[in-house]
Amino acid sequence: MGGLEKLLETVGQPFADVRELMAGYGALSPEVRAERIARALELLEAPAPEAPSPGRAVRVAEVLDEDAETSSAPFSSAELDATLESRRLDLGAQAPKKLAPLGLKTYRDLLFYYPKRYEDRRALPHFGALREQESATVVGTITGRKATKSRSGMVVTRAFLEDAHGGRLTAVWFNQPWLEKSLFPGQRVIVTGKVKRRGRLVELSVAHFEIDDDSESLSAGRIVGVYAATQGLSQAYVRRAVHRLLGALGVIPDHLPRSVVERFGLLPLDAALREVHFPTSEEGLAAALRRLKFDEFLFLELRVLLNRDTTLLGKRFTVKRSDLERFAASLPFALTGAQRRVLDEILGDMAAPKQMARLLQGDVGSGKTAVAAAAIYVAVQNGYQAALMAPTEILARQHYLNLIQYLYPLGVECDLFIGSAGSRERREARERLSASQTDLAVGTHALIQEGVTFRNLGLAVIDEEHRFGVEQRRRLLSGNPDVLVMSATPIPRSLALTYYGDLELSVIDELPPGRKGVQTRLVSDARRRDVYRFAWSEIKKGRQVYLVTPLIEESEAEVMSEIVSATKMFEDLQALMPEACRLGLLHGKMTGPEKDEVMERFRRHEFDLLVSTTVIEVGVDIPNASVMIIENAERFGLSQLHQLRGRVGRGEHESFCILVAGDRSKRTQHRLSVIEKHTDGFVIAEKDLELRGPGELKGTRQSGMPDLVLGDLSKDTELIERSRELAKKMLAADPKLEAPWATRLREELKRRSRAVAFREII
């Protein structure tokens, strides 16, 4: 009633730009109206323009800091990228120099320098309440200090503290002589450590402490963030700097549209940043972390998705039911439900004009090769050639044998391309390939060597792709074939989504029927003799045995090389096993062909027991080998143990995996028992990530994981999936993020991408 313009006079009051856009709306044609409305909605979606902020009630004033003037000059978030040296906001003359070692150069760096952990200091106990042997954090004022030298030459520093109730406590530090110079009577300190009571005396042996020189305390009486700070820089200093910055900033503009923030139940960025540095409650902190993690994952997924060229055309195959039926009929078994499901996903991609980029993940022995064979058959029926590239000769040969078994009866011409083939053989294979006589080429790197040319490659299957370099993959993929990557490495779904964010994921989560599980036992090294007696009894039944040994550090000074540890094991065994037992040795210092030869001889049962470091291949399939012994099992990751176990249990024989633990600690037992109890590689991988904890995820980061500061790949699956869903929606709506609502988002994305090198997949 009265029209949109009339309505805007009232409810549109705060949105001047929208009202301007809508001026004269009633007189416009329907087309122009539609366009105006669309633009108005975009404007409304955009994050609120930054208010020319008077600054929020300037909290700077709460904090006294001698070397900084308490100026309340507003500091706009547009200036966050200024360097600390610019002194746009004065954090103290020393700030640039003091904060530089933490990698903090700009105000933005400081704003996003999150605490690495938190301590609940809302109610610190008074000294009288401390109990023997507990670990506690207390606050007190120094009344005196003393340094003494023990008879053994150790310097012991003591500070005498008094709490608010007049209670007394002695804080003790060992061997930190420099401390004496930084502890003064009158200082308030917050100390954490173990309590020792000697009658009325309470002693605390200090593990961690802070000098609390805040007048308005940021360091006690609240949940306190603890920063990764270097020596010579106090926690309180960092806190104060961040506090001053936050106080000077007006509302920090959000890079996410308000509607998204609401729909996903997120905290606005401004609140999240304030809360992450100075939590007001546990719930507030949790919400803040959730928001900031969400952002990390969102930008990660956006980068990955943007980097993926969705316009890239691959091949378009016609998938005929009759072809699939013929393939199924020639298989010696029926595909499992999981195999059928992933095959449908693959064929769906192959039928579309877009280039397929799919990761087929399945535990060892889950039947990936059979699925790949079906896809290959479809490609070949469409008149294309197919290739399967494996990282080693032994794997290539094994795939080749499997694939001809499935595909030769269907009239598919296969050829094997490996480096060790004779030169004439190689030339002839190349000629057949370029003349299109070959439908399927299986091989190693030899497939992408000079002179190997496909006539029309339609489908490329890559096994264990992480072992190939970008260049190598590129060469195989130059004709834009559809690509299927197979991996047996069980990667938790959350990790796969992120690490392989630009590949679609298919998972075979079911083993073919009738698999006998591998009986897994954890034994201590005291029973090693029994283990080898058992191995010998299996060998006498005609079975074969793998023995895997990790690198062993002989002594602190002398790290034994891989070759030495395996060789030593080999020698030990010669003494331990009956003479009739034939032994073989495999280690990482052998060349590829040497390794392949050992494996080939083992396959032919030319010896019974293979001593090896971890180089035995992931996909190696020797059904007669039914016992896997792993020495010093505690030195392996759980996923790695699971992979190793997958080498056995591949034939009709009852199979065994024996983990010999050289370390009998509870923790080791607990960790290894995961392998004893679980058979699902994905569950194990997840437990592995959990047990190793986020600390070791840094390793993941170094190996190409873009930097996740807060995000935890082992736990944040839900957030990862939600952020990925949002990233996809955003890009579907606006493929280049050009709309007004995305302006800040795009800037933030650019900022965060600067440091991170993209992982190239295809």
Instruction: List contacts with ligand ADP (CB under 6 A).
Output: 333, 335-336, 339, 362, 364-370, 488, 512, 619
Residue of 431, 98, 347 whose CA lies nearest to 240: 98
Binding residues with Mg ion: total (CB under 5 A): 2
Which residue type, as a one-letter code, is found at position 516? K
CB of 572 to ligand ADP, least distance (A): 32
* Binding segment (CB under 5 A) for Mg ion, from list 293-301, 309-317, 517-525, 611-619: 611-619
Q: Is 60 or 342 the residue whose CB approaches ligand ADP more closely?
A: 342
Distances (CA, A) of 50 to 16, 700, 709, 744: 14, 38, 27, 11
178 binds, among Mg ion, ligand ADP, none (CB under 5 to 8 A by kind): none
- Of 267, 88, 50, nearest to 747 (Cα)? 50
In the numeric block, which tokens belong to residue 537? 């009894």
- In single-letter form, the type of residue at position 244 comes to R
CB of 369 to ligand ADP, least distance (A): 3
Task: Tell me whether residue 511 or residue 674 sits nearer to ligand ADP (CB atom).
Answer: 511
Could you say which of Mg ion, ligand ADP, none residue 192 binds, taking C-beta under 5 to 8 angstroms by partner kind?
A: none
359, 503 contact by CB (below 8 A): yes
Consecutive H or E run containing 524: strand 518-524
Min separation Cβ 674 and Mg ion, Å: 24
Among 284, 362, 550, 619, binds Mg ion (CB under 5 A): 619
Q: Which does 452 bind (CB under 5 to 8 A by kind): Mg ion, ligand ADP, none?
A: none
Least Å distance, CB 388 to ligand ADP, is 11
Least separation in angstroms between residue 335's CB and ligand ADP is: 5
What tokens were used for 414?
């296969």
Instruction: Considering only residues 351 through 380, tell me which ones interact with Mg ion, judged by CB under 5 A.
Output: 369
Strands 155-162 and 168-174 turn out to be antiparallel
> Which residue carries 């609120």 as its tokens?
48
Question: By CB under 5 A, is residue 392 in contact with Mg ion?
Answer: no
- Residue 612 interacts, among ligand ADP, Mg ion, none and using kind-specific CB cut-offs from 5 to 8 Å, with none
Closest to ligand ADP by CB, 314 or 365: 365
The whole-angstrom separation of Cα 711 and Cα 723 is 12
Nearer to Mg ion, 619 or 711 (CB): 619
Question: Which entry of Mg ion, ligand ADP, none binds 407, CB below 5 to 8 A by partner kind?
Answer: none
* CB of 339 or CB of 549, closer to Mg ion: 339
DSSP string computed for 445-468: GGGGSTT---SSEEEEEEESGGGS
Report the DSSP pairing between strands 357-362 and 504-508: parallel
Q: Which does 364 bind (CB under 5 to 8 A by kind): ligand ADP, Mg ion, none?
A: ligand ADP
Closer Cβ to Mg ion, 307 or 624, answer by number: 624
SS3 670: helix
Shortest distance in whole angstroms from residue 492 CB to ligand ADP: 18
We find the least distance from the C-beta atom of residue 717 to ligand ADP, in angstroms, to be: 24
Q: Residue 520 binds which entry of ligand ADP, Mg ion, none, with Cβ cut-offs from 5 to 8 Å by kind?
A: none
Q: Which does 218 bind (CB under 5 to 8 A by kind): ligand ADP, Mg ion, none?
A: none
Find where tokens 């080791």 sit: 668
**Nearer CB in complex with Mg ion: 47/443:** 443
Which two structure tokens, joined as six digits, stand for 433? Answer: 């390939």
* Partner that binds at residue 336, options Mg ion, ligand ADP, none, CB closer than 5 to 8 Å by kind: ligand ADP
758 interacts with, out of ligand ADP, Mg ion, none, CB within 5 to 8 A per kind: none
706 binds, among ligand ADP, Mg ion, none (CB under 5 to 8 A by kind): none
Choice between 461 and 710, CB closer to Mg ion: 461
Q: How far is the CB of 398 from Mg ion (least distance, A)?
A: 7
Which is closer to ligand ADP, CB of 299 or CB of 602? 602
The least CB distance from residue 596 to ligand ADP, in Å, is: 18
CB of 366 to ligand ADP, least distance (A): 4
On whether the CB atoms of residues 586 and 598 are closer than 8 A, the answer is yes
For ligand ADP, the closer of residues 98 and 650 by Cβ is: 650
Q: Which residue is nearest to ligand ADP (CB)?
A: 367
Query: How far from chain centre, in Å, is Cα 80?
Result: 30
Sign for the pseudo-dihedral over CA of 280, 284, 285, 288: negative
Please choose which of Mg ion, ligand ADP, none residue 501 contacts, taking the beta carbon within 5 to 8 angstroms, the exact cut-off set by kind: none
d(Cα 631, Cα 633) in Å, to the nearest integer? 5
- Which amino acid does the sequence have at 402? N
Tell me the closest approach of the beta carbon of residue 345 to ligand ADP, in angstroms. 16
- Going from the C-alpha of 525 to that of each of 539, 559, 632, 677, the distances in angstroms are 21, 21, 8, 20
Residue 336 C-beta: closest distance to ligand ADP, Å: 5
Please give the C-alpha separations between residue 102 and each of 227, 277, 359, 383, in angstroms, as whole numbers.
10, 16, 39, 59
387 touches 484 (CB < 8 A): no
Nearer to ligand ADP, 335 or 610 (CB): 335
- With a CB cutoff of 8 Å and minimum separation 6, the contacts of 195 are 130, 131, 132, 133, 134, 135, 136, 202, 203, 204
Cβ pair 336, 365 in contact under 8 A: no
Residue number with CB closer to ligand ADP (507 or 577)? 507
Smallest gap from residue 644 Cβ to ligand ADP (A):
14
Minimum distance, C-beta of residue 512 to ligand ADP, in the bound complex (Å): 3
- Please count the residues of the chain: 762
- The single-letter code of the amino acid at 518 is V
Min. distance of Cβ 402 from ligand ADP in angstroms?
A: 6
Nearer to ligand ADP, 488 or 629 (CB): 488
* Least spacing, CB of residue 590 vs Mg ion, in Å: 23
For tokens 């070949």, what's the residue?
380
Distance of alpha carbon 702 from its chain centroid, rounded? 10
Residues sharing a CB contact under 8 Å with residue 268, sequence separation 6 or more, in sequence order: 254, 261, 291
Reduced to 3 states (helix: H, G, I; strand: E, B; else coil), residue 183 is coil
Nearer to Mg ion, 369 or 723 (CB): 369
Which residues, including other chains, have CB under 8 Å from residue 72's CB and lie 6 or more apart?
A: 55, 58, 60, 61, 248
- Give Cα 314 distance to the centre of its chain: 29
> Can you tell me the distance from the alpha carbon of 758 to that of 705, in angstroms, rounded to the nearest whole number?
9
Among the residue ranges 276-284, 405-413, 575-583, 619-627, the one whose residues contact Mg ion (CB under 5 A): 619-627
Q: Which does 366 bind (CB under 5 to 8 A by kind): ligand ADP, Mg ion, none?
A: ligand ADP
Degrees to nearest 5, angle at CA 394 with 390 and 398: 80
Which of 184, 511, 579, 210 is closest to 364 using CA atoms? 511
What is the C-alpha to C-alpha distance for residues 565 and 661, in angstroms, rounded to an integer?
16
Select from Mg ion, ligand ADP, none the partner in contact with residue 365, using the beta carbon and a kind-dependent cut-off of 5 to 8 Å. Answer: ligand ADP
- Which does residue 361 touch among Mg ion, ligand ADP, none (CB within 5 to 8 A, set by kind)? none
Tell me which of Mg ion, ligand ADP, none is bound by residue 512, counting a contact when its beta carbon lies within the kind-specific cut-off of 5 to 8 angstroms.
Answer: ligand ADP
Residue ranges that bind Mg ion, judged by CB under 5 A: 369, 619
